[in-house]
Chains A and B, each alone.
Chain A
Amino acid sequence: MTDPVLRLENIVKTFPGVRALDGVSFSVMPGEVHALMGENGAGKSTLMKVLGGIHQPTEGAIYIGDDRVTMAGPLEAKAKGIVFIHQELSLAEELSVAENIYLGELPRKRFGRVDWATLTERTNAILGKLNVGFDARTRVGDLSIANQQMVEIARALTVDAKAVIFDEPTASLTDAEKVVLFDVIADLKAGGVGIIYISHRMEEIFRITDRISILRDGQYQGTVNTAETDEESVTQMMIGRQLDLSRNASHHQLGEVAIEVRGLSCGKLYTDISFDIRRGEVVGFYGLVGAGRTEIAETLFGLRRPSAGQILLGGVETQIHSPDEAIAHGISLVPEDRKGQGLVLGMNCRDNMTLPQVDRLASGPFVAEGEEIKIFDKYRDQLDIRTPGWRQKVGNLSGGNQQKIVIGKWLSMHPDVLIVDEPTRGIDVGSKSEIHKLLRELAAQGYAVMVISSEMPEVLHVSDRIIAMYSGRIIRTFRSEDVTEDSLIQAISGIGPGAQATEVA
């Protein structure tokens, strides 16, 4: 039997008011992909930050091989062969791709000069493996979020790692890039590297991991061999109940058209987009990165000015110049970048949630705080948001719980048209299915829902109709009964309905 590359023993980590980790132990073998699973806020990221030297454990020990080590800082962790790919993007936007990948350890020449030649060469080699469409010199700020995530991933390949931690690497990747990522992981694995893989996506877990360790509320629940278990039992261990993971079959009674878009274009971002969404209907938008779905949503929300076309709300042509006009017209948008666009991280949970409606929540000249707390409590319960209380700063919540705050914020507006852009990015299976159920329920109540997602199961699960986009154009619209995974993939790759798809079940 081989020795583990890495072993954690009885790790405890407390923050003021929170016991984030409560005696967690597990080990990673060389050449193994070890999944770490748990609900939002279970403590996965915190555990990895302890391992990566970013947090110091309150109690417990870390072993690499047989040596007990203390990780005084990230550089030390890296020196010991532990590479950490962060959940939240950890990039300097103004710098080039190469500089970001080698951040903190740029190759040097004499006089402290950067060895650009080596840097570029090494970077391009890595990028070549990753099969991405940008080069070492591209400014990271010019990349889409997905490509930025690829830059993060590239960092795993810069050193001879003993262990690589991927904290939700696929949260903002589309299927095409995922394939590349999995190849990378397979390569590392073949090289005897131990991999810790955190994700909320069951299909990935079962596709690439060897063992699964599960956390719940900071406590270790156990480790199972992937081959010997199934989704249901893992879910059971994570949340203590079972889930319905089927594809959407039911349809609600559709009402009149809530929003209609005719020939909408915005420069080069997207062209000639026409669709409508009825009350009671969920329309999924599926496509590759850069397909222009987010931009359509932003246009509907008054954040972009269309260069052509019309938007009709309830049959009336409407000009939407700004988000507050959009909100007044009953449109809500859950944006795709929760840190940058969704939340004011330094503000507390309650204030974030009620932000779009502070004007309406006034009693006399003041904000009606009691009213706000009621709203917060309602959605905290409904969405199962884990937080010590409304006073907690949103920045201190786990990624998934942050996302739930954003969703709660827009649900509480009771919109006519709800647009959600990557609504379950970083959300655990339990909550994910809650959110999916919620979206269906909202539709049942007569909302028109537009779901933008890069996850095929999600699109399939919630949508009544699916609009496939490629490069700023609508390629095809499917009804949920008609859609097959293959035809969907063809459509988002730019292959129209004319071309015949080979059916593989």
Chain B
Amino acid sequence: MAAMNRKDLGEFLAKQGILVAFAVFMIAFTMANQKFISIDNVFSVVRSSAILGIMAVGVTFVVISGNLDLSVGSMMSFSTIVVLDLHDKVGPALAIPLMFLMTLCLGAFIGFLVGYLRLNSLIVTLGMLSAIHGLTLTYSGGQNMDIADKEGTWFSVFGQGTALGIPVPILMFLAVAAFLGLVLARTPFGRKVYAVGGNGTAATFSGIRRARTVFTCYLISSGCVATAGLIQASRSLGSQNTVGQGLELEVLAAVILGGASLLGGSGTIFKTVIGVLILGFIQNGLLLMGLQFYVQFVVTWIIIILAVWLDIAAKRGKLWSSIA
């Protein structure tokens, strides 16, 4: 009997290791500071995680398809700067679609290079990280971009508004995650993404257009980046050129924390969302504890490794790896 129970628990942990880890952190932080779990704080964490989260959802597609996207941070800066600039020039109603168009073009360019030309995605997106930053600086002349009339624009609704008492960024995050989660889990396209990432050659031999699939993943990723940029811009109605700098690694950390393999072929949107929330709540929890930022660095390190370790240890049913 006992053995049976342990086996069931083992199987549960194997499937939900990351959720368990999440629950453990939440309880630990709540015990350290009651305010941690207050509705205000939860809203504020999820709201600021929304930007990272939406990007992570997009990057999940790219990672499952067997590629990387390190350009999302500087691409987000680009979207933010562009939409803020266009806001005053052509009005928000036109600025938003124009910004999406421009960001999608960048995504399409990367998708073309990685999907159709089959260039290595790490280097391509590393290159684009730098190139898009240059583009943003050229576009803005290196200046901060600010909306002139901050009080009178409806543009602020995406970042600052609420609907049904819930902040709009959270709603957008949920909507994007739910929609793309369904796309990935249930549609033929989603299936192809897994196949291409799992074994691109076999996918090709099965009649899947690998290049197109990868291309579409980058389009999705850049679409998510544009959405994140929109929220970012709307949240502060002004921005620096470096607003997204360094986010690419945080995004990647969230995706991996969620259990997606860098080799491609595995991962889910739901788990990525959990990964995002873990990162968001760790950061917030440590801040509330008043730890020095560098102690936060160290603790984050330990938590990331513990969480991933727990996850894979549960999957293999053994704590230590079997590497000889």
Shortest distance from the beta carbon of A76 to any chain B beta carbon, whole Å: 11
User: Which one of B70-78, B154-162, B165-173, B204-212 is at the A interface?
Assistant: B204-212
Report yes or no: A367 in contact with B206, Cβ–Cβ below 8 A.
no
Contact of A340 among B191, B201, B317, B324 (CB under 8 A): B201
B198 and A356 form a contact (CB under 8 A): no
Interface hits, B205-232 → A, CB 8 Å: 205-209
Report how far A356 CA is from B207 CA in the complex, Å: 6
Q: Is A323 an interface residue (CB 8 A)?
A: yes
| Least CB distance, A114 to chain B, in whole angstroms | 21
Which residues in B have their C-beta under 8 angstroms from that of A346?
A: 198-199, 265-266
Residue B62 is within 8 A (CB to CB) of chain A in the complex: no
Residue A16 lies at the interface, judged by CB distance under 8 Å to chain B: yes
Which of A301, A324, A359 is B188 in contact with, Cβ under 8 Å?
Answer: A359
Roughly how many angstroms separate A367 CA and B194 CA in the complex, as a whole number?
Answer: 14
Which one of B186, B265, B317, B324 contacts A344 once the chains associate, using CB atoms below 8 Å? B265
Q: What is the minimal beta-carbon distance from A338 to any residue of chain B, in angstroms?
A: 9
A341 adjacent to B202 (CB under 8 Å): yes
Q: Is there an interface contact between A358 and B192, defined as CB atoms closer than 8 Å?
A: yes
Question: For residue A362, which residues in chain B have a CB less than 8 angstroms away from its CB?
Answer: 187-188
A326 in contact (CB, < 8 A): yes
Chain B CB count within 10 A is highest, among A342, A351, A355, A366, for A355
Q: Is B313 an interface residue (CB 8 A)?
A: no
Interface size class of A (residues with CB under 8 A): 20 to 34
Q: Is A333 an interface residue (CB 8 A)?
A: yes
Q: Digit string of A359-388 for contact with B (CB within 8 Å is 1, else 0)?
A: 101100111000000000000000000000
Residues of B within 8 A of A324 (CB): 207-209
Q: Which of B187, B194, B207, B266 is within 8 Å of A366, CB to CB?
A: B187
B-facing residues in A312-334 (Cβ within 8 Å)? 322-324, 326-327, 333
Would you give the shortest CB distance from B317 to chain A, in whole angstroms? 7
Whether the Cβ atoms of B205 and A335 lie closer than 8 Å is: yes
Q: Is the CB of B317 within 8 A of A367?
A: no
Checking B186, B201, B207 against A327 with a beta-carbon cut-off of 8 angstroms, the contacting residue is: B207
User: Is A69 on the interface with B (CB-CB < 8 A)?
Assistant: no
Output the nearest chain B residue to A323 by Cβ-Cβ distance: B207
**Residues of B close to A303: CB separation below 8 A:** 204-205
Cβ distance A53 to chain B, nearest Cβ, rounded Å? 10
Q: Give complex CA distance A432, B180 in Å.
A: 43
**A73 touches which of B202, B206, B209, B324 (Cβ 8 Å):** B324
- Whether A343 pairs with B204 at a CB distance below 8 angstroms is no
Give the distance to chain A from B74, nearest Cβ to Cβ, in Å. 32
User: In the complex, which residues of chain B have a beta carbon less than 8 angstroms from the beta carbon of A409?
Assistant: 206
Bitwise, B175-205 to A at CB < 8 A (1) or not (0) is 0000000100011100110110011011111
Find out whether the CB atom of B202 lies under 8 angstroms from the CB atom of A340: yes
Query: Does the CB pair A323–B191 fall under 8 Å?
Result: no
Chain B neighbourhood of A343, CB < 8 A: 199, 202
Question: Is A79 engaged at the interface, CB distance under 8 Å to the other chain?
Answer: no
B-chain residues with CB within 8 Å of residue A335 when the two chains form the complex = 205
Q: Is A345 an interface residue (CB 8 A)?
A: yes
CA distance A153 to B233 in the complex (A): 64
Complex CA distance for A301 and B198, rounded to whole angstroms: 21
Min Cβ gap B62→A in Å is: 17
CA distance A388 to B203 in the complex (A): 24
> Could you tell me the distance in whole angstroms from the C-beta of B109 to the nearest C-beta in chain A?
23
Q: Please, which residues of chain A bring their CB within 8 A of the CB of B198?
A: 344-347
- For A366, the chain B residues whose CB sits under 8 A away are 182, 186-187
Q: Is the CB–CB distance between B187 and A356 below 8 Å?
A: no
In the bound complex, residues from chain B placing their C-beta under 8 Å from that of A342 are 202, 205
A333 to B191, CA, bound (A): 20
- Contacts of A44-103 to chain B: CB distance below 8 A: 73
Is the pair A365, B205 in contact by a Cβ cutoff of 8 Å?
no
Chain A-chain B contacts (Cβ-Cβ < 8 Å), number: 74
CA distance A344 to B204 in the complex (A): 11
Quick check: B187 and A347 within 8 Å, CB to CB? Answer: no
User: Smallest Cβ distance from B59 to chain A, in angstroms?
Assistant: 20
Contact B202 A344 (CB under 8 A): yes
Residues of A within 8 A of B205 (CB): 301, 303, 323, 333, 335, 341-342
Q: Within 8 Å CB of A361, what residues of B? A: 188
A356 proximity list for chain B (CB < 8 A): 206-208
Shortest CB distance A371–B (Å) = 12
**From residue 270 to 288 of chain A, which have CB atoms closer than 8 A to chain B?**
none
Task: Give complex CA distance A258, B194 in Å.
Answer: 34
CB of A358 within 8 A of CB of B188, answer yes
What is the distance, in angstroms, from A455's C-beta to the closest C-beta of chain B?
Answer: 22
Cα distance A341–B199 when bound, in Å? Answer: 8
Contact B188 A345 (CB under 8 A): no
Q: List residues of chain A with CB within 8 A of the CB of B182.
A: 366
Picked from A333, A340, A341, A367, the residue with its CB within 8 Å of the CB of B186 is A367
- What is the minimal beta-carbon distance from B92 to any residue of chain A, in angstroms? 31
B54 to chain A, nearest CB (A): 21
Q: CB-CB < 8 A to B207: which residues of A?
A: 322-324, 326-327, 356
Cβ contact of A355, chosen from B186, B191, B209, B265, cutoff 8 A:
B191
Contact B195 A355 (CB under 8 A): yes
Contacts of B317 in A (CB 8 A): 16
Nearest-CB distance from B1 to chain A (Å)? 19
A138 to chain B, nearest CB (A): 23
B201 proximity list for chain A (CB < 8 A) = 340-341
Report how far A346 CA is from B199 CA in the complex, Å.
8
Q: CB distance B208 to A355 under 8 Å?
A: yes
What residues on A are CB-neighbors of B202 within 8 Å?
Answer: 340-344
CB nearest neighbor in A for B266: A346
Interface centre among B192, B204, B207, B324 (most CB of A within 10 A): B207
How far apart are B9's CB and chain A's nearest CB, in angstroms? 14
| Interface 1/0 per residue, A390-429 and B, CB below 8 Å | 0000000000000000000100000000000000000000
> Cβ of A367: which chain B residues have Cβ within 8 Å of it?
186-188, 191
CB distance from B178 to the nearest CB of A (A): 14
B residues within 8 A CB of A355? 191, 195, 203, 206, 208
- Mask for A292-305, Cβ within 8 A of B = 1, else 0? 00000000010100
Asked if A358 meets B209 with Cβ closer than 8 Å, knowing A343-B199, A344-B203, the reply is no
Q: Give Cα distance in the complex from A409 to B265, angstroms.
A: 19
Nearest-neighbour CB distance to chain A for B157, whole angstroms, equals 29
Nearest Cβ distance between residue B303 and chain A, in whole angstroms? 27
Per-residue CB contact flags for chain B residues 289-323 toward chain A (1 = under 8 Å, else 0) read 00000000000000000000000000001000000
Candidate in A335, A342, A346, A361 with the most chain B CB atoms within 10 angstroms: A346
A68 to B90, CA, bound (A): 83
Q: Are B204 and A351 in contact (CB under 8 A)?
A: no
- In angstroms, Cα B203 to Cα A343, docked, is 8
Q: Could you pull out 25 A-B pairs where Cβ atoms are within 8 angstroms?
A: A303-B204, A322-B209, A324-B208, A324-B209, A327-B207, A340-B201, A341-B202, A341-B205, A344-B195, A346-B198, A346-B199, A346-B265, A347-B198, A347-B265, A355-B191, A355-B195, A355-B208, A358-B191, A358-B192, A359-B188, A365-B187, A366-B182, A366-B186, A366-B187, A367-B186
- Top 7 A-B pairs, shortest CB-CB distance: A344-B198, A358-B188, A324-B207, A366-B186, A327-B207, A355-B206, A323-B207
Contacts A340-B199, A345-B198, A346-B266 known; 17 new A-B pairs at CB < 8 A: A16-B317, A73-B324, A322-B209, A323-B208, A324-B207, A326-B207, A341-B202, A342-B202, A344-B194, A344-B199, A344-B202, A346-B265, A351-B195, A355-B191, A355-B195, A361-B188, A409-B206
